[in-house]
Structures are given as structure tokens and as C-alpha cells.
Amino acid sequence: MKLSIVGVTGLVGSVILKVLEEKNISVSELIPVATEKSVGKEIIFNDKKYKVVGIEEAINKKPDFAIFSAGGNTSLKYAPKFAEQGTVVIDNSSAWRMDKTKKLIVPEINANILTEEDKIIANPNCSTIQLVMILAPLHKEFKIKRVVVSTYQSVSGSGIAAIEQMENERQNIEGKKKYPHQIDKNCIPHCDDFTENGYTKEEMKLINETHKILDDYNISLTATAVRIPVLGGHSESVNIEFEKNVNINKIKTIFANTKGIILQDDIENNIYPMPIIAHNKNDVFVGRIRKDFSQKNAINLWITADNLRKGAATNAVQILEFLL
């Protein structure tokens, strides 16, 4: 298998390499791609050195698969060029997610809809992936009516520049700012740009992508996305209202038996999901499951996941695994 990683030197790109190694996926030829300033640099994959090449050179090498993690503009411009020659593209950006002709995939939920005709496959937003992983099995069992989600998203979701801003602030070093405000010792209710309706793009991604992945546009969903001073791992507080009567023990049993979900719900021993636990793990962690006493057939729960892994790199590699 000839595999190209586009955006290999970025945060997600480097994690994709780690996940490929951990899963022992057989790659006969790796074609690492990055921006022009990184061309010629060496990366190590499976104890072997590879030189970073430009994207046009990668297209000419005709890889079987290409995993993109280089931003929406790069994906819009180059993914079709790879696809035209038969390369299957798995794209991490927002470029193709809401395109009606492209599939938006979380393998545990809807990989079965993929066909050989799908040459560009969209990877959902990090905060969406962990949310739908929890919603999908519950929707199947109890039919979801409404979801209210508040996210607590780590700085790594904004890339290297955001991590540097937080580290600089912790050391009282003046530097470039990724955010409009200080992030250390602070929470910023502002993930991505604001849209005309007062919601941010991140909040609208959660709403629109959830509808598409669950293939149900009747679910009422609203979101607030917040950036917090945590290095890695996104958390979400979720309120879910169902059409059917719900039983907390049954919900816990469903989660305990769902692949890719780790149930951590033992409040007597202070066991519940936290970003520090999810760090470097490929699963979605869920806990604090309890009835919402203010609403019929409703519950509250808490989710965490590593946004660079299941929220991005791991999900992309899982799509690749399914296709193989």
C-alpha cells in the first residue's frame, strides 16, 4: 500500500504516524507531504527515514490512499487531483464534511455506507466525533429528541500556535497570540469564528455534522463551545432528552458493551472521565450519567476524548483500516 500523509509535520499529522505504527498497518511506501518550507526535512516512520516532498510530487507518485490534515484550502484544491487518478482521500479538514456528495464517517457508526465509488471521505470535527460516539447507541435504543452540549476544548485543538501561547503565558513570556484573549487561567467561549446567527463555526459544526452522521435531521441540537487552558483532550457536558423512557442502568450497560467507549462512572471512588485520562488514548470516555430531574426522559452525562487521536488521527486511520 502506497500511503501519502498530507500535513505530516503538523500536530495531527505526527499523531497519524504514531497511530499507524501502533496498529501495525502495513505501508509499502510512505509519501510524507508538507508545505514548501518543510520539503526535504526527514521524518521517521517504523524506524525508517523518509524525506518530506511537495504535494505535486506526491500526486505524481499515485498513492493508493492519502490522509489529509493540512487545512480546508489545501483539501479543496488538491483532494480532487488525488481522487481523479484513483487515490482514496481521507480528509481531516472541514472542506468536504457538509458536501452532499461526500460521506462523513465515524467507523463505529456509519462506515457501512462507504462504497468503492467514494474517493473523498470526510473525517468529522473532533468535538463532533466524541459526541456522536455517545449519541449513536442511545439514539438506536431510546430515540433522541433534543441535545444540549457545552464543550470544554483543549488548546491543542487550535494547533501548535495555541499551545505556544499558553506555555508563554505560563512563563510570562511575550509572544504571538492565537486567541484574542489570554488562555492561561481563563476560559474563552469562542471556538473558531462567529457566524451571522451568533454561534461560532465550531458550534454549527457540532449541530450540522451530528445530523448528517446520525442521518436524522429531526433531532433538536444546540451547542456552546469553550476553549480551556488544558494541553490535550476535549470534554463535553451533554444533556439528552429522549422520546422513550430511559433507564440509567441500561444506558451504562449499552456503553459498557459498545466498542470504542470506556465507561468510567463510579462517583463513590471519584472515578469519572477527565482529559488527563483520555490523553494518548483512542477511546471515548463517558461518566457522570444521571437523570435530569427537570425534564421527562432526559439525562446528563460527561464525555472526554483525546482530540488529536479519536477526534482526528485515530478516526482517519480507522477509516483507512475499514477500506483495507
Tens-digit pLDDT profile for residues 239-251: 999 999 999 999 9
**Number of domains the chain contains:** 2
* 206 and 303 inside one domain: yes
* 290 and 161 inside one domain: yes
pLDDT of residue 36: 85
Q: What end-to-end distance do the CA atoms of the chain give, in Å?
A: 9
How many CB atoms lie under 10 A from the CB of residue 128?
A: 27
* 97 and 148 inside one domain: no
Contact 302, 261 (CB under 8 A): no
* 158 and 287 inside one domain: yes
* 118 and 180 inside one domain: no
CA distance 57 to 16: 21
243-261 per-residue burial string, b: 16 or more CB within 10 A, e: under 16: eeebeeeebeebbeebebb
Catalytic residues: 126, 234
CA distance 69 to 73: 11
Which residues in the chain land under pLDDT 70?
A: none
* 63 and 104 inside one domain: yes
CA distance 208 to 147: 13
Domain enclosing residue 202, as ranges: 127-307
* 18 and 87 inside one domain: yes
